[in-house]
Structure formats: C-alpha cells, structure tokens
Copies of this chain bind each other. A is one copy, B any other.
C-alpha cells in the first residue's frame, strides 16, 4: 500500500523546529510493510496545503496529515481539508462537550475560539485525542483515505499508534505485509568498498532491500525483507544476512540497536575483566562512551586524560627519556601508557590512545591525524598506528572508535 505524510506548520518551513512527527509515522508505516512515497511539509496556508494534498492524493492510497488543529486563527488545516474535498463543516456537540469538560477539569477559562476544535468536515470519522483538546478525523476520498491528527508530537505519536494504524489496517485489509529487518554496523570499510563487497548480491532478486546509512565513523547496512507471511520474510532475511555476514564479517562490530561501547562492555562483563583507560588526543571520549553503558562501573575502574607530558610521567609512569627519544606520539609511549594505567589501577587490561588531533601539532614524520593506540594485559601489549585525515573532532571520534575496536578484537581473540 502506498501512503504519504503531510506535516503542517509555519515553524516547519521557517526552520524554527525540526519535524518530529514524520519520522515516527513513517517508521510505523514501514514496519507494516507499507510504503511512504513522500513526506511533505507546508506552512499554515490553504493554497500550499491544497497543492500538497491534491498531489499526494493522486499517488497514495492514504495520506496522513499532522498539525494545524489548534484553536487559534493560524490553524486552518480542518477548514483547508474541507475546502479541498468540497465538504461543509459541522459542529460535533459530543466533542464540544468533551472539550468544555476538559477545560473545566484543568481549571482553564473557556473562550469561544476553542469551539473551533469541535468542527469537522461532513462525513468525518472522529479520532479521539486521549491527551489534549484537538481530536483528529478521517475521511474516505474515493478509494483513498485522508487522516488528520494534531501536530503536538506526544499527541501525534499516541493517536497514530492507537487510532490511525488500526484504522488503516481496517480500511485496507490484507494490505499489510510481513517485514523482517536487520542492521549491520561496520567500521573500517568505506561506503563504496562495502558496495563493492556486496556486488552481485541482487537484493531485488532475493526479495530484500539493502540500505546504506553512513553514520561517521560507522557505516550501517540495513537489510529489509517483506513478504506475505512472517515465515517467508524471515527466511528471505536470513538467507541474505548469511551472505552479507560472509562477505563483510571482518568489519561487522554490532547488530541492530547494539553500539560498539555496548558490545565491548558486554564482553568485558561476561569475561569478568576490569579496564583502565589512558587517553591523550581523545581527551576522555573513550571513557565517556563506555560510561554511556549502564553498569559500566562494574568493569571501568578509572580513566586518565594525560593531556600533558607531565601527566604521562606522573600518572602513567612513562619515563621522560622515552618521551624525549620517541615523542609523546609514538608506539613506545602508547604501550607504556597502556601498561602504566593498568598497573596504576590494578586492572586486568589497560587501553591507551595518543595522537595528534590537529589542526596544528603535526610534523613531516608525524602529520596531523597520526594516532597510536595500545592494549596491555598481564603478559603482552598490542599496538596499532593510524593516520586519520579529518578535522579535530572527527579525528577524536574515529580514534575512540579504533581504540574500542582494538579492545573488541582482543576480547574476541581476533
């Protein structure tokens, strides 16, 4: 089934706020296996609404409209929809009573303009608002359906789930497809290389869809399978996912809602290992990410942001000679930082990062973006060198990512 979304409000076309409703509604529709062919945002004026609504009605089975149902003069959605469909407005006495009762219950002073929210186009089916005063409504239009709900995100989300989705299923029986989907989160392979790795996979032929979503410094790959029944959808999904898995295994660090910090945290907790982190150029970003995971205090004993050489010596025991001979940004320093923080904290593992985030501080031999990271356990230490080429913030982010990947690889014995 083809659907479309129209969000109404001057604040949307002046950039005053970012539309919250479209994404929530589109997600809910997509989950049904239905399609959203377009999302259109227009201001609170009848001409633009007429243009958008007529255009969408000509291509979609159902159009969901949000916004412009308030009591004030600038809210004209109901009147506009009535005009566009050539329907008169009527006042719904039951709705009017409900609104007046709500005002009384909330101790609000009743003003006549609020009665406006009790008017609907003739033939409208009311969609009750369980939270506020603005009820929504639905109208058949030929074979199609128009649904109008308020723009207040909390009201729109609830009314869409409780009122609109059931109505759509009822109005278009048998149109809902079964949907199964999985997200692969990748690091270390540019988008085009991912594409290359998947060449010849023929998603269409397998009845699946594959979407790429670069989310620096990660690439997310979403496989979505639609079918008439759930069993077939998940069969198609699994078949394609096995293939994706084989082709990209090395680069996959998480699935679906999992995050890299979450995966690393789970591995540490499963294995009952404790961690200490010594950061230079990442400035605390690694421990910030790890402490976003509830319960991380179970394994994260301490973090040291050793931004100065003084701190590297005093807190991590990196000998001055090493700093002088090899520099603060070197594999020797990285390894000694990892060992030092591990020893100081008495943890099973020590993780360290030292590098040049930029924009200045680079040299011929060690240009901006040069980063060393090391991991130390009771016996050995691993060290990796990278050369990143982004701005300061992005160099920090990708360095924290690479360091957590080093830790993950170690924990998974890779």
Residues of A whose CB lies within 8 Å of any CB of B are 10-20, 22-30, 35-43, 48, 51-52, 55, 59, 70-74, 105-109, 111, 113-114, 152, 190-196, 209-214, 222, 224, 277, 279, 281-288, 290-292, 294, 296-297, 300-308, 310-311, 314-315, 344-346, 357-360, 387, 389, 392-393, 396
Q: How many copies of this chain does the complex contain? A: 2
Q: Which residue of B lies closest to A44 (CB)?
A: B211
A311 and B345 within 8 A (CB): yes
A72 to B39, CA, bound (A): 24
B301 and A308 within 8 A (CB): yes
B13 and A27 within 8 A (CB): no
Interchain CB contact (< 8 A) of A37 among B29, B42, B73: B42
A334 to B106, CA, bound (A): 23
A36 to B294, CA, bound (A): 43
B277 and A291 within 8 A (CB): no
A59 to B36, CA, bound (A): 23
**Given contacts A11-B211, A74-B211, A212-B70, A307 and B311 within 8 Å (CB-CB):** no
A28 to B15, CA, bound (A): 8
Distance in Å: Cβ of A80 to nearest Cβ of chain B: 14
A218 to B201, CA, bound (A): 46
B19 and A18 within 8 A (CB): yes
List B contacts of A296 (CB < 8 A): 283, 307
A203 to B351, CA, bound (A): 54
What are the nearest 10 A-B pairs in CB distance?
A283-B291, A15-B27, A284-B284, A303-B305, A15-B26, A284-B287, A302-B311, A39-B41, A72-B195, A13-B36
Q: Which residue of B lies closest to A13 (CB)?
A: B36
- Listed by A's residue number, 26 A-B pairs whose Cβ atoms lie within 8 Å are A13-B30, A13-B36, A14-B26, A15-B25, A15-B26, A15-B28, A19-B22, A22-B41, A70-B191, A71-B192, A72-B192, A74-B210, A108-B190, A109-B190, A113-B196, A279-B284, A283-B303, A284-B291, A285-B288, A294-B392, A297-B307, A297-B308, A300-B308, A304-B304, A305-B305, A314-B344
